[in-house]
Amino acid sequence: MRMVDLIEKKRDGEELTTEEIGFFIEQYTNGNIPDYQVSALLMAIYFQDMTDRERADLTLAMVESGDQIDLSEIEGIKVDKHSTGGVGDTTTLVLGPLVAACGVPVAKMSGRGLGHTGGTIDKLEAIEGFHVELTTEQFTKQVNELKLAVIGQSGNLTPADKKLYALRDVTGTVNSIPLIASSIMSKKIAAGADAIVLDVKTGEGAFMKSVEDARSLARAMVQIGNNVGRQTMAIISDMSQPLGFAIGNSLEVKEAIDTLRGKGPADLTELCLVLGSQMVVVGGKAKDLDEARAMLREVIENGSAIEILKGFIEGQGGNPAVVDSPELLPQAQFTFEVPAKESGYVSCIEADEVGTAAMLLGAGRATKDSVIDLAVGIVLHKKVGDAVKEGESLATIHSNSENIENVLAILHKYIEFSKEPTTAPNLIEEIITQ
Ligand code: URA
Ligand code: CA
């Protein structure tokens, strides 16, 4: 088989066979095909697209390029949740204990944040002593006993995706539905999930800015998952403004704890109930979404979700006392209010800009090697649709530096006002099951 023939075939809009896709992924991973040929093929895929069959084959070939996590020692249907990335997105910290309390095993592999989006592992590491370096045996044992464990990404998971993503990044081929969908799904499948619930974000803070693009990506991923035998569904949710109020690692842990006690922000709570209901049904613990939602509300009210959170923190070396005393989490030295310059209604809070402001405070990574400050971040007091009086605080900045002029400027610029009443964006745009 010659790579140049595959490039010409795709360039001319023809379909690649399973063998051809397997060849290119295997040989590229092994270093036997040069970057320039793969770049040409990626650009051809960018323009010519891939059929459903090609997408499923590409995903499976990437899964097979490295380690696959075997979760068969864990009893029950393992349901994984994946978000395409947002600002202040604390759902994983809430959903883990919530769904586990309903009896669905959550065996989660998570990553760190980059740029204006946060990562679950960074947030968990705000808890003193918490670590994600578990052996497979420890991981399996904790999920069987407690229904919840989080492990760091294995080094050799989907090496083909790592190489391809780096190449796409410098060849203008990141933004391609078949390439994004196969990239995300290959990692979820290699991580061992039986079923996958996807939270595809849309809006300014998201990878997919328009609902149409988010829908195409969601459909592509659902199709791939179901074609390779993993039950998959997706919801499309709003990321035009940050989720909840808190953005920043410690601040989001506290927000997750509040939400698990039934005292969280309305949008974060609702998103967790929608995603959680899907997970509980797919996990076989409820017959329909209504029953699942009632179960989720019950484990919040009777405190069992909070108990799971404590056990989970303790099981992974952390201090469970933070759950009852969140002031034990790292605290920033200074806080500053952001007073409204005029009265009116909040019309827009640009999520990516607020995420960048939190990153400038030190809550996120500008580059892969940046060291983050777990204490700092932003807590919003207003969301889109809220009425505001001049001088009222829009947000509190938690900082370890007194020099916050740039952060203040971003918040004043991107928390926008209208004289006329505004309405909050739709939190859930759509649910896609096939
Ligand atoms: N996230 C991924 O994991 N892969 C992509 O291609 C894009 C976003
Ligand atoms: Ca939040």
Closest approach atom of ligand 1 to CA 179: 6
Whether residues 286 and 412 fall in one domain: no
Rounded distance from Cα 183 to ligand 1 centre (Å): 5
Task: Ligand 1 pocket test: pick from 165, 173, 216 the residue with the most ligand atoms within 8 Å of its Cβ.
Answer: 165
pLDDT in tens, 86-144: 888 899 999 999 999 999 999 998 877 776 677 889 999 999 999 999 988 899 999 99
Is there a catalytic annotation at residue 168?
Answer: yes
How far is 324 from 198, CA to CA, in rounded Å?
Answer: 31
Q: Is residue 39 part of a domain?
A: yes
Answer left, alpha or beta for residue 33, where phi above 0 means left and psi between -120 and 50 means alpha: beta
**383 flagged as catalytic:** no
Say if 59 falls within a structural domain: no
173-208: burial string, b at 16+ Cβ within 10 Å, e else = bbebbbbbbbbbbbbbbbbbbbbbbbbbbbbbbbbb
Q: Which atom of ligand 1 is nearest to the CA of 184?
A: 3
Catalytic residue from among 80, 122, 161, 258:
161
- Same domain as 193, residue 84: yes
pTM: 0.94
Co-location of 251 and 361 in the same domain: no
**Alpha carbon nearest to ligand 1 atom 1, residue:** 184
Residue closest via CA to ligand 1's atom 8 equals 180
In the chain, the number of structural domains is 3
Residue 211 CA to chain centroid, in angstroms? Answer: 17
Beta carbon of 132 within 6 Å of any ligand 1 atom: no
Q: 181 and 310 share a domain?
A: yes
64 lies in some domain: no
Cα(251) to centroid(ligand 2), Å: 8
Check residue 240 and report its DSSP letter. S
Nearest-angstrom CA–CA distance, 374 and 126: 6
Range of the domain at 150: 79-325
**In this structure, are 173 and 112 located in the same domain?**
yes
Closest Cα to atom 3 of ligand 1: 184
Q: Is residue 424 part of a domain?
A: no
Is 396 found in the same domain as 305?
no
Burial of 237 (0-12, 13-18, 19+ CB in 10 A): buried
Q: How far is the CA of 418 from the centre of ligand 2 (A)?
A: 24
Q: Which atom of ligand 1 is nearest to the CA of 174?
A: 6
The token duo for 37 is 């040929």
Q: Is 219 a catalytic residue?
A: no
Return the pLDDT at 370.
Answer: 82
pLDDT for 116 equals: 67
Amino acid at 376: V
Report which ligand 1 atom has the smallest distance to the Cα of 183: 4
Ligand 1 in reach of 184 Cβ (< 6 A)? yes
Catalytic, 187? Answer: yes
- 19: CATH: 1.20.970.10
| pLDDT at residue 207 in the model | 81
Residue 51 to residues 178, 196, 222, 291, Cα–Cα distance (Å): 9, 21, 14, 37
Q: Please state at what angle helix 211-227 crosses helix 52-63, rounded to 10 degrees.
A: 70
Q: What separation in Å is there between the alpha carbon of 72 and the centre of ligand 2?
A: 33
pLDDT at 398: 98
Run of H or E including 59: helix 52-63
pLDDT digits (tens, 9 = 90+) for 403-415: 999 999 999 999 9
**Distance from C-alpha of 56 to C-alpha of 133, rounded to nearest angstrom:** 31
Are 136 and 183 found together in one domain? Answer: yes
Residue 200 falls within a domain, yes or no? yes
In the DSSP assignment, the letter for residue 292 is: H
Low-confidence ranges of the chain (pLDDT < 50): none
Residues 164, 194 within the same domain: yes
